[in-house]
């Protein structure tokens, strides 16, 4: 048997995984794929992939599990995958051509199959991420490529990370109902448990200018505020049932904006009173993973449910939407205002596309997001670097994190 990651056994039992509901097609090697490749996820991810050549399947598998110790087993698995799932047009994207050139630098994080995500830049230029499935907090030095991984409390299942004004890495403990602080100098971890047992799943967080750490709790239907000075946590429930508060951003004036992943709404939270106002979005079927604000205070949001990009002007209440290039099933997911444009990704198609929308010309341009030689995985959250000169992205399937810059006149900016 191949050497499995140390935490493999724990992972396999701790995650409530959907069983491999649909059997894979007959063929030699199927049993091995079902035995080895379902430790972290069901086989539907294989069936929903775009399909790959044998070499690509080898690269892709090696971002999740090291089979090199057992070449016979690896051959059996790769021969099966290559025969049954060759390159195809499954969920094909519709690229949007355009004139802009981008430059992408990528890194593969050390521990395989961790579901690396949510890279964020610290003031010293290092890039932090979390490995959600394996309770990992990671730090990359983008100049040297050096990476370090730190163990978070078992079962925390960190969903996201932010660097605080104190220089610490603050993560959301999505499965153990905590917010956590990791001190990079001492390695010490401090956990802040939720004060209410209905508050189960801290999700996405952002610091406000006054130092408060705001966060969403998706399944709990709440928004929380942690005071890092006192450790006090305050919670408020969304007025809309099962709205599933997801993305969160802080406006210039301190207002907290939240997107609803379970309903057609945005939420506005008063930072002082914590009162929540619902902004209904026009169409049934609309669900919004994430949102961002531009320099004019306009809110840009992804209509994940209907495959669109949305704009909301809080001053006028005006709402506008545009169909995403890959259509209604493109499932736009992460979003960030970067370099004067709106960037998001189409996670429902293969390849996962990075899309740029120019608010002035209303033109779209898109690029497939690569992980080395393959296109696989999902971008789930993206943020710019602190100076706004680069966009930090990731692919949770292939253990990759990446930095995107714009090429201007042959120079990378």
Q: Which of 24, 51, 61, 365 binds ligand HEC (CB under 6 A)?
A: 61
Query: Which residues from 122-141 bind ligand HEC, rule CB under 6 A?
Result: 133
In the complex, minimum distance from the CB of residue 37 to ligand HEC, in angstroms, rounded to a whole number: 3
Q: Which residues contact 11 (CB under 8 A, 6 or more apart)?
A: 5, 39, 40, 133, 134
Q: Which residues contact 42 (CB under 8 A, 6 or more apart)?
A: 17, 18, 19, 20, 21
Q: x/- site string to ligand HEC, residues 82 to 121, per CB under 6 A?
A: ------------------------------xx-x------
Size of the site for ligand HEC (CB under 6 A): 24
Measure the CA–CA gap between 246 and 249, rounded to whole angstroms.
10
Measure the CA–CA gap between 389 and 412, rounded to whole angstroms.
10
For ligand HEC, give the closer residue by CB, 7 or 181.
Answer: 7
For ligand HEC, give the closer residue by CB, 297 or 368.
Answer: 368
In the complex, minimum distance from the CB of residue 50 to ligand HEC, in angstroms, rounded to a whole number: 7
Q: Does 49 bind ligand HEC (CB under 6 A)?
A: yes
Query: Which residues from 165-224 bind ligand HEC, rule CB under 6 A?
Result: none
Q: Which of 366, 377, 403, 404 binds ligand HEC (CB under 6 A)?
A: 377
Measure the CA–CA gap between 59 and 93, rounded to whole angstroms.
22
In the complex, minimum distance from the CB of residue 118 to ligand HEC, in angstroms, rounded to a whole number: 12
Q: x/- site string to ligand HEC, residues 324 to 353, per CB under 6 A?
A: --------------------------x---
Q: Does 267 bind ligand HEC (CB under 6 A)?
A: no
Q: How far out from the chain centre does Cα 32 lie?
A: 30
Structure tokens belonging to residue 174: 């999505």
Residue closest to 245 by CA, chosen among 231, 233, 257? 257
Measure the CA–CA gap between 228 and 311, rounded to whole angstroms.
33
Contact 323, 288 (CB under 8 A): no
Q: Which of 24, 77, 265, 334 binds ligand HEC (CB under 6 A)?
A: 77
Compute how many other C-beta atoms are within 10 angstroms of the C-beta atom of residue 284: 9
Q: What is the total residue count of the chain?
A: 413
Measure the CA–CA gap between 106 and 402, rounded to whole angstroms.
4
Nearest residue to ligand HEC, scored by beta-carbon proximity: 113
Contact 291, 259 (CB under 8 A): yes
Q: Does 46 bind ligand HEC (CB under 6 A)?
A: yes
Question: Is residue 355 classed exposed, middle or buried when 0-12, 13-18 and 19+ CB atoms within 10 A define those classes?
Answer: buried
Placement of tokens 């210039």 in the chain: 252
Q: Which of 397, 403, 404, 405 binds ligand HEC (CB under 6 A)?
A: 397
In the complex, minimum distance from the CB of residue 194 to ligand HEC, in angstroms, rounded to a whole number: 25
For ligand HEC, give the closer residue by CB, 61 or 221.
Answer: 61
Q: Does 37 bind ligand HEC (CB under 6 A)?
A: yes
Q: Does 15 bind ligand HEC (CB under 6 A)?
A: no
Q: Which of 10, 17, 39, 102 binds ligand HEC (CB under 6 A)?
A: 39
Q: How far out from the chain centre does Cα 369 lie?
A: 13
Query: What residues line the site for ligand HEC (CB under 6 A)?
Result: 5, 36-37, 39-41, 45-46, 49, 61, 64-65, 77, 81, 112-113, 115, 133, 350, 376-378, 396-397
């Amino acid at each position: 048997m191949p050497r499995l990651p140390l935490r493999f056994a724990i992972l396999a039992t701790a995650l409530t995984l959907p069983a491999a509901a649909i059997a894979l097609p007959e063929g030699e090697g199927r049993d091995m794929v079902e035995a080895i490749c379902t430790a972290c996820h069901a086989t539907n991810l294989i069936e929903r992939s775009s399909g790959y050549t044998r070499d690509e399947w080898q690269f892709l598998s090696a971002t999740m599990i090291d089979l090199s110790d057992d070449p016979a087993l690896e051959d059996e698995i790769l021969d099966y995958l290559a025969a049954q799932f060759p390159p195809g047009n499954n969920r094909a994207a519709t690229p949007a051509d355009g004139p802009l050139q981008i430059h992408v630098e990528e890194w593969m994080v050390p521990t395989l199959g961790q579901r690396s995500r949510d890279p964020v830049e610290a003031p010293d230029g290092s890039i932090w991420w979390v490995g959600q499935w394996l309770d990992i907090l990671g730090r990359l030095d983008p100049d040297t490529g050096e990476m370090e991984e730190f163990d978070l409390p078992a079962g925390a299942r960190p969903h996201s990370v932010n660097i605080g004004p104190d220089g610490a890495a603050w993560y959301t403990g999505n499965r153990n109902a905590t917010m956590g602080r990791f001190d990079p100098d001492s390695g010490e971890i401090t956990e802040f448990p939720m004060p209410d047992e209905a508050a189960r799943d801290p999700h996405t967080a952002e610091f406000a200018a006054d130092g408060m750490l705001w966060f969403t709790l998706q399944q709990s239907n709440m928004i929380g505020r942690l005071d890092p000075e006192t450790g006090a946590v305050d919670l408020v429930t969304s007025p809309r049932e099962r709205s599933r508060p997801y993305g969160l951003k802080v406006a210039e004036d301190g207002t907290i904006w939240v997107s609803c992943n379970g309903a057609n709404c945005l939420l506005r939270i008063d930072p002082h009173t914590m009162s929540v106002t619902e902004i209904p979005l026009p169409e049934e079927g609309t669900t919004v993973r994430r949102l961002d604000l531009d320099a004019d205070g306009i809110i840009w949001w992804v209509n994940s449910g209907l495959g669109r990009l949305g704009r909301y002007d809080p001053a006028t209440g005006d709402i506008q939407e545009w169909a995403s290039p890959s259509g209604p099933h493109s499932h736009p997911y992460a979003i960030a205002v970067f370099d004067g444009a709106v960037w998001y990704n189409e996670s429902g198609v293969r390849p996962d596309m990075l899309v740029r929308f120019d608010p002035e010309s209303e033109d779209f341009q898109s690029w497939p997001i690569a992980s080395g030689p393959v296109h696989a995985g999902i971008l789930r959250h993206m943020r710019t670097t602190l100076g706004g000169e680069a966009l930090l992205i990731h692919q949770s399937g292939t253990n990759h994190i990446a930095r995107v810059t714009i090429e201007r006149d042959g120079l990378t900016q």
